[in-house]
Chain A
Amino acid sequence: MPDPLNARLKLLVVETLRLEDVAPEDIPDDEPLIGGGLSIDSVDALELVVKLEREFGLKIASSEESRRALASISSLAAYVRERGDPARLAS
């Protein structure tokens, strides 16, 4: 069974970036988000960071930190679990 947070993050990526030809379940857990098959670039990353900060009540401190967090869905889920507001994580 897919990890619920991973599934939520995949949906967030698809909706935030309006990826018309990508279904959330098509995004692998461990492949690079930036520079990978989704063609996500640094401008997309900016949109994702803003959305993540609002959605999970977290604060990403630097561009290096955002790059590490956005390395893959799995790394993003780990980051959100560690830094996110627990109340928003549960929703």
Chain B
Amino acid sequence: MADPGNRVRIAATDCLTPFGDAAATLAALLRGERALKRVPVLGREGGDLVPLALIEGRALDESEPPEWLSPLSRLARSIPGEGWGSARRPIFVTGSNFGVGALYAYRRSLAAVTQGTASAAGLEPPKEDFLKWGDPGACVARLAREFGWGSQVTVFSHACVSAHLGLLQATRALEAGLADEALVFTFDFLSPFVAGGFHALKILNGEWPAPYENRPTGAIGLGDGAAYAVLGKGKGDLCLAAQNLHNEMYHVTGNRPDGSGFAACLEPIVAAAKGRRVWMKGHGTGTLEAGRLEAGALAQAFGEAPLVGWKGSLGHTLGSCGVVELSLAAQAIRVGRTPGTVGSRAPALAGAVAFDAFDNRSFDAVVCASNAFGGSHAAFLLAHA
């Protein structure tokens, strides 16, 4: 599913991480800072300490209204332009865990009341209000009202390539002449349910993530993240020169051992990057097997191009990571410095992993890649327009 997309530009982009906006986040990454902190995996119910990066002032536990609503509103209100959600200015909202934290919070409080342990556990009685956030449609409809958006809002949720899917759909709407500008808005905020799931898989295991580092044990961190990208044809100094999504149809939690799924996704990106000097921002969560396959496939496709990953600092921001990291890559291009792979050190699993920050002014473009449960791979080429 390749799309040339070479006329679509990034008119504006920004993100929200525990460090702040894209400028503040990039500055922190360039300083090698880690946003992750060790937090009880089940929030106020405790459990093992695991690395999570929560935006300032937010507890892991769900609240009503959600503690993330206020900072997300600030991000939404900073989006330039008016009339978002109208016929010619559609919105594509993406994320991977819409509402699941609210459902879990409702279920947890209900169970505590049933068992008579609510007050002892510090839990309040079950709140029907949680359920208003409990599915993607309801959640996004409430946000649209809050942000003053119109009705042209499409929701995509496809695990950790959700944001890439939004970018491609927005690009298609623009290429087909169905829109003047398109907004991709993405967010994922952590909950005990999500953290507990990754903890059960033993990949969120208390160790700090070290993407692409060759070490005995893999580990990931998770992070809150939100971001937007305004796509259009006329404005912006950067463009999406190529995009691709690919599903290898192999296994829900594993990749083909030969890495062919990663390679297949990169094929149109390689073609579009021909003649350009690129650096690469990989998915790099910190798991060993996927990290080895991804770094190997990127090295096979782009030779000695330097590869960085930022989830060792920010954690994996799940469905939002594609646009969160797009906004950071765009910021890196503008300031001329690319943060290194924070939290990792040599030796690398494969490829030319850049552990330290480097000057990117001699490069023409950046390859940004993400992967997801379900065998999904995504990548795009961000280049000067």
- Whether the Cβ atoms of A61 and B205 lie closer than 8 Å is yes
Bound Cα distance from A62 to B252, whole angstroms: 19
Chain A: interface residue count, which band? Answer: 10 to 19
A43 touches B202 (CB 8 A): no
18 contacts between A and B (CB under 8 A): A41-B251, A41-B254, A42-B253, A42-B254, A43-B252, A46-B201, A49-B200, A49-B202, A50-B200, A61-B205, A61-B206, A62-B202, A63-B202, A63-B205, A63-B287, A64-B216, A64-B217, A65-B217
How far apart are B156's CB and chain A's nearest CB, in angstroms?
Answer: 24
Instruction: Judge if A75 is at the interface, Cβ distance under 8 Å.
Output: no
Q: In the complex, how many angstroms separate the beta carbon of A14 from the nearest chain B beta carbon?
A: 21
Number of interface residues of B (CB under 8 A): 17
B207 at the interface (CB under 8 A from A): yes
Cβ of B288 < 8 Å from any Cβ of A?
yes
Q: Mark B279-298, 1 if CB is under 8 A from A, else 0.
A: 00000000110000000000
B199-238 vs A: 1/0 string, CB under 8 Å? 0111101110000000011110000000000000000000
A44-81 interface mask toward B, CB cutoff 8 Å, 1 = contact, 0 = none? 00100110000000001111111000000000000000
In the complex, the chain B residue whose C-beta lies closest to that of A60 is B202
Number of A-B residue pairs, CB cutoff 8 Å, is 38
1/0 contact string of A10-49 vs chain B (CB within 8 Å): 0000000000000000000000000000000111001001
Instruction: Tell me if A66 and B202 are in contact (CB < 8 A).
Output: yes
A62: chain B residues at CB < 8 Å are 202-203, 205, 207, 217-219
User: What are the residues of chain A within 8 A of B203 when measuring CB–CB?
Assistant: 62-63
CB proximity of B216 to chain A, nearest CB, Å: 7
Report B138 CB to chain A, min CB distance, Å.
29
Bound complex: CA of A64 vs CA of B201, how far in Å? 11
Q: What is the 8 Å Cβ interface bit string for chain B, positions 249-262, against chain A (1 contact, 0 not)?
A: 00111100000000
> Do A42 and B200 have beta carbons less than 8 Å apart?
no
CB contacts (< 8 Å) of B251 on chain A: these are 41-42
CB-based nearest B residue for A59: B48
Please give the distance in Å from B328's CB to the nearest CB on chain A: 28
Residues in A whose Cβ lies below 8 Å from that of B217: 61-62, 64-65
For residue B219, which residue of chain A has the nearest CB?
A: A62
User: Which residues in B have their C-beta under 8 angstroms from that of A63?
Assistant: 201-203, 205, 218, 287
Given contacts A49-B202, A61-B202, A62-B202, contact A43 B218 (CB under 8 A): no
How many angstroms from the CA of A73 to the CA of B251 in the assembled complex? Answer: 24
7 more A-B residue pairs beyond the given contacts A61-B205, A62-B217, A64-B216, with a C-beta to C-beta distance below 8 A: A41-B254, A42-B253, A43-B253, A62-B202, A64-B217, A64-B218, A66-B202
Q: For the complex, what is the distance from the CA of A50 to the CA of B196, rounded to whole Å?
A: 12
Residues of chain B in range 287-338 having any CB-CB distance to chain A below 8 Å: 287-288
Report how far A63 CA is from B254 CA in the complex, Å.
Answer: 13
